[in-house]
Amino acid sequence: MDHLQRALTKDLASAHVNSKIQKILFDIIFQHVQDMVYVMKVENGPDFRYIFVNESGLNQANLPIEVIGKTMTEALPSEFARDLKKNYEKVLNNRNIVSFDDTFSFDDGRKVYGETILTPIFNVKNKITHVVAVTRDVTAWTIEKNKIIVSEQRYRSIVDNNLDAIFSISLEGKILEANPAAVLMTGYTEKQMINRSIYNLINDWDLERFRELLEKTCSGYALESFDCKFIHRKGKILLVHLKTVPIVIHGEISGVYVICKDLSEQVKSMETIKYMAFHDQLTGLLNRRALLENLSDLIASNKNEFALLSIDLDRFKYINDTIGHIGGDEILKKVADRLGQYQSKLCFVYRQGGDEFNILLLNSDRKKAANFVQQIFSAFVPSFYYNSQEYFITPSIGISMFPNDGMDSEMLIKNADEALFRVKEKGKAHSQFYRTEMNSETTNIVMLETHLRKAIEKNELTLFFQPQIDLQTGKAKSFEALLRWNNPVFGLISPALFIPLAEDTGLIIPIGHWVIESACKQIREWNKMGYHDVRVAVNISPKQFQQHQLIETICFMLQKYEIQASSLEIEITEGSLNNTKETIPILKRLKEIGIKISVDDFGTGYSSLNYLREFPIDILKIDRSFIKDVLVNEKVAAITTTIIHLGKSLGMEVIAEGVESSEQVDFLLKAQCHKIQGFYYSRPIPAKELEQNYLGNL
């Protein structure tokens, strides 16, 4: 150490430093200072020459003793010397103390952080002759500080990027910090929230619980939570799941983190799920599940009378068959819109599926329900449109009343359906209340099917005939064969009831076969009796029409009973004409054979009249629903007249179905309709009766 001391003493002495101060300086530098000390002589250039370095200065900076007497440029790696010199030059320029931080990286990868103070030493001429550099090794402290910075940054990024709102609050509830999610959730800026009480953000109802929660948290319970409501700046109430975490510093709770998860979105998706569970996807109306739930709630809580309507669209199957399911769905949506307009606090509209709807009419007696049903019917008076085609749709409605017709949901639904079933059976497009007697009449479909299978062999089927009166001559030469099933268990069963069942079960094929054979046999008998000029119309259902053996069966029967093809007519519905590719060849073949072809229930299905030109059709039968309204609805009257004229212009015979009054006959006479069929002249009657009443007059 001596040589150092000597060198410095000499140099500093020449700088006229007071000897007393010198002593103090040396004491400090050599005995007390752990810092690195460098005394540099300022030379021209400027460059800085090492004239003194203390032991720490040599050891910690890894400098050899030979550095003394060398300039910085000589002693240090050039880049490092250049950077270091810049700071020394600053001292010369500023003529003042300069401090800076720097880092040394050693070859072994060790990194040392230093904090340096450069102090100028002036001579008597006020010129800077020396610069004293004191560098403190702050590596340990810097590493510690960096750790704190990293953890602070980590904390920040967790807090700032958190999707949950995080408030840090004082023990009294004053907001100290709020993260961006909190800003978003509350609608206030962080600045607006700081120093405000968090209690101001919480809904009054939840304040007490929040206070308790805070107390608990402050007394050391780590995690507490509950669902509470926050108030957004704009007044909107938000449901949040709130958690509190104590802020513990040096073992003491200094505040609380309040973490809030906004549940509004969750609530919304819960609502969506609930909506989907209780609504029909296609129409947006309530669904069957909603009906069951509402019914049981109503029955449990309500002692007032209410009505349950069961609604089914008439012949909707034909619409689906003719315009396809997409078109059918569009029409169903339109029907749903019309029914949906009745939805209110006292009226709930449901779609069961398919073309079946229900309506719950609260606080309603029979009279109110009957009035309401009339409104529903009037909602169906305007026609429906799809692809600019017009469709007429009528509903059939069955009604059951609570508590009269059932004390539970199942019974009420069953009885409304039962009443609906009766409506359909009687010929659609009207409504009926449930009657208790219906129960005993209830036809068990499964049993019905079992019996229907045996109906032919047990000889339970018969044909009735309904005359078609020529309006010119007043005589009937053609008759529609209508099937009757007389079952010992169920009695006389309507074809409207069992034909759909027969279609569904495939029984329509043997039954249809039986009908054709029976009709041919009957024609043969009448021929034998001398009536050669009669024609019998047989109904062919769409399923039957698509069967390949239909033509074979007909040809076979014509031969077997030796009758003329022209005395047999087949009635097909518009639904059968749907599949044009297969339909045209079948119709052409029938035409070649000489069979007459009529379109039954005309006007209710395929509304396009184009196919009338395409298909070899002989007869149009205007549906009963038109005739029913022909005198009361001008539009219907106009359509009916048009159909008659159109049929005539295409060379077809036009028959009006369901004629029940003399006024209707007058209308049809005026419109020059060819023939009429209906109760006004005769109901369908057995062959024997027909022979007496009609054939005798021929």
Sign of the four-CA dihedral 537, 538, 544, 547: negative
| Minimal distance, residue 539 CB to ligand C2E, in Å | 4
- Contact with ligand C2E (CB under 6 A) among 659, 665, 685, 687: 659
Asked if 427 touches ligand C2E (CB under 6 A), the answer is yes
* Of 258, 176, 251, 248, nearest in space to 214 by CA: 258
Asked if 574 touches Mg ion (CB under 5 A), the answer is no
Contact between 178 and 222 under an 8 Å Cβ cutoff? The reply is no
Residues 6+ apart with CB under 8 A from 382: none
Cα–Cα distance, 616 to 605 (Å, whole number)? 18
- Contact with ligand C2E (CB under 6 A) among 260, 467, 658, 671: 658
Asked if 482 touches ligand C2E (CB under 6 A), the answer is yes
> Judging by beta carbons within 10 Å of its beta carbon (0-12, 13-18, 19+), is residue 53 exposed, middle or buried?
buried
| Minimal distance, residue 601 CB to Mg ion, in Å | 4
Residues 6+ apart with CB under 8 A from 583: 576, 577, 615
Contacted entry of ligand C2E, Mg ion, none for residue 518, CB cut-off 5 to 8 Å set by kind: none
| Minimal distance, residue 495 CB to Mg ion, in Å | 9
Contact between 677 and 655 under an 8 Å Cβ cutoff? The reply is yes
The distance of Cα 506 from the centroid of its chain, to the nearest Å, equals 38
Contacted entry of ligand C2E, Mg ion, none for residue 355, CB cut-off 5 to 8 Å set by kind: none
Please report, to the nearest 10 degrees, the dihedral formed by the alpha carbons of residues 407, 408, 413, 419 taken in order. Answer: -20
- Contact with Mg ion (CB under 5 A) among 262, 503, 601, 629: 601
Binding mask 496-535 for Mg ion (x = CB under 5 A): ----------------------------------------
* The two three-digit tokens of residue 392, written as one number: 């007429």
- Contact with ligand C2E (CB under 6 A) among 483, 523, 656, 695: 483
* Of 2, 80, 73, 1, nearest in space to 40 by CA: 73
In the complex with Mg ion, the residue whose CB is nearer, 121 or 617, is 617
Asked if 569 touches Mg ion (CB under 5 A), the answer is no
Asked if 601 touches ligand C2E (CB under 6 A), the answer is yes
Asked if 405 touches ligand C2E (CB under 6 A), the answer is no
Contacted entry of Mg ion, ligand C2E, none for residue 678, CB cut-off 5 to 8 Å set by kind: ligand C2E
- Contact with ligand C2E (CB under 6 A) among 499, 509, 619, 630: 499
Asked if 539 touches Mg ion (CB under 5 A), the answer is yes
| Minimal distance, residue 689 CB to ligand C2E, in Å | 14
Asked if 541 touches ligand C2E (CB under 6 A), the answer is yes
Full DSSP string of 559-605: HHTT--GGGEEEEEEGGGGS-HHHHHHHHHHHHHHT-EEEEEEETSS
In the complex with Mg ion, the residue whose CB is nearer, 202 or 511, is 511
| R_g of the chain, CA atoms, integer Å | 51
- Contact with Mg ion (CB under 5 A) among 571, 574, 629, 653: 571
Pairing assessment for the beta strands 535-540 and 568-573 based on DSSP bridges: parallel
Contacted entry of ligand C2E, Mg ion, none for residue 400, CB cut-off 5 to 8 Å set by kind: none
Q: Which stretch binds ligand C2E (CB under 6 A): 64-72, 290-298, 311-319, 677-685?
A: 677-685
Contacted entry of ligand C2E, Mg ion, none for residue 182, CB cut-off 5 to 8 Å set by kind: none
* The two three-digit tokens of residue 543, written as one number: 């399923």
Instruction: Count other C-beta atoms under 10 Å from residue 465's C-beta.
Output: 25
Contacted entry of ligand C2E, Mg ion, none for residue 494, CB cut-off 5 to 8 Å set by kind: ligand C2E
Contacted entry of Mg ion, ligand C2E, none for residue 515, CB cut-off 5 to 8 Å set by kind: ligand C2E
Asked if 179 touches Mg ion (CB under 5 A), the answer is no
Q: Which stretch binds ligand C2E (CB under 6 A): 53-61, 78-86, 187-195, 539-547?
A: 539-547
In the complex with ligand C2E, the residue whose CB is nearer, 118 or 619, is 619
Cα dist from 323 to 328, 390, 461, whole Å: 7, 12, 34
In the complex with ligand C2E, the residue whose CB is nearer, 482 or 595, is 482
Cis peptide before 46 (omega within 30 of 0): yes
Asked if 536 touches ligand C2E (CB under 6 A), the answer is no
- Contact with ligand C2E (CB under 6 A) among 361, 429, 678, 694: 678
Strands (E), 341-460: 347-353, 356-361, 384-386, 389-391, 395-402, 431-433
The distance of Cα 655 from the centroid of its chain, to the nearest Å, equals 48
Q: Which stretch binds Mg ion (CB under 5 A): 303-311, 317-325, 467-475, 655-663?
A: 655-663
Residues 6+ apart with CB under 8 A from 261: 163, 164, 240, 241, 242, 243
Q: Which stretch binds ligand C2E (CB under 6 A): 65-73, 89-97, 435-443, 675-683?
A: 675-683
Cα–Cα distance, 512 to 44 (Å, whole number)? 126
Cα–Cα distance, 661 to 665 (Å, whole number)? 6
Cis peptide before 403 (omega within 30 of 0): yes
Q: Which stretch binds ligand C2E (CB under 6 A): 183-191, 306-314, 344-352, 538-546?
A: 538-546
Subset of 74-93 contacting ligand C2E (CB under 6 A): none
Asked if 398 touches ligand C2E (CB under 6 A), the answer is no
Cα–Cα distance, 489 to 451 (Å, whole number)? 9
Asked if 684 touches ligand C2E (CB under 6 A), the answer is yes
| Minimal distance, residue 678 CB to ligand C2E, in Å | 3
* The two three-digit tokens of residue 131, written as one number: 């610069």
In the complex with Mg ion, the residue whose CB is nearer, 98 or 481, is 481
Asked if 539 touches ligand C2E (CB under 6 A), the answer is yes
**Per rule CB under 6 A, count of chain residues that contact ligand C2E:** 24
Asked if 509 touches ligand C2E (CB under 6 A), the answer is no
- Contact with ligand C2E (CB under 6 A) among 102, 660, 689, 691: 660
Please report, to the nearest 10 degrees, the dihedral formed by the alpha carbons of residues 177, 183, 188, 189 taken in order. Answer: 60
Asked if 35 touches ligand C2E (CB under 6 A), the answer is no
Inter-helix orientation angle 288-301/409-426, to 10°: 120
Asked if 679 touches ligand C2E (CB under 6 A), the answer is yes
Binding mask 562-591 for ligand C2E (x = CB under 6 A): ---------x--------------------
Cα–Cα distance, 502 to 461 (Å, whole number)? 13
Asked if 668 touches ligand C2E (CB under 6 A), the answer is no
Binding mask 447-466 for ligand C2E (x = CB under 6 A): -------------------x
Cα–Cα distance, 426 to 158 (Å, whole number)? 73
H or E element, residue 253: strand 252-262
| Minimal distance, residue 460 CB to ligand C2E, in Å | 14
- Contact with ligand C2E (CB under 6 A) among 496, 638, 650, 698: 496
In the complex with ligand C2E, the residue whose CB is nearer, 358 or 487, is 487
> Judging by beta carbons within 10 Å of its beta carbon (0-12, 13-18, 19+), is residue 128 exposed, middle or buried?
middle
- 8-state DSSP, 177: E
Q: Please give the residue whose beta carbon sits closest to ligand C2E in the complex.
A: 678
| Interface residue list for ligand C2E (CB under 6 A) | 427, 466, 482-483, 494-496, 499, 515, 539-541, 571, 600-601, 624, 657-660, 677-679, 684
Applying CB under 5 A, the residues found at the interface with Mg ion are 539, 571, 600-601, 657
